[in-house]
Amino acid sequence: MGVVVFALPMTSADLAQYMEATGRQLQPWLLAQLRLLKLQQERPDLPPEVYWQRLQDIHRDVMNLGEWWQGREAEVFGDR
């Protein structure tokens, strides 16, 4: 697998490309980050109440992840 390099700040398209290039499309914390980046890009066009509701939804989903990865670090995060 080649090295994937991105300039910061990363856009949702950059993150989606990274996820696809590294086979990490289904990792829940990356999906949450992708949702946050998309929300940030959409924010200027959203009414405040819609923005806050979507942000709360993402926060809830991240909090529901809990510590599911404990004991599976090598499998989930790769050998480092």
Start-to-end CA span in the chain (Å): 15
In this predicted model, what pLDDT tens digit does every residue of 24-34 receive, in sequence order?
888 888 889 88
Q: Which residues of the chain have pLDDT under 70?
A: 1-8, 79-80
Domain ranges of the chain: 12-65
On whether the pTM is more than 0.75, the answer is: no
Type and span of the H or E element at 66: none
Q: How many CB atoms lie within 10 A of CB 50?
A: 13
State the residue for tokens 């992708």.
34
Q: Given CA atoms 53, 58, 13, 10 in this order, what sign does their dihedral have?
A: positive
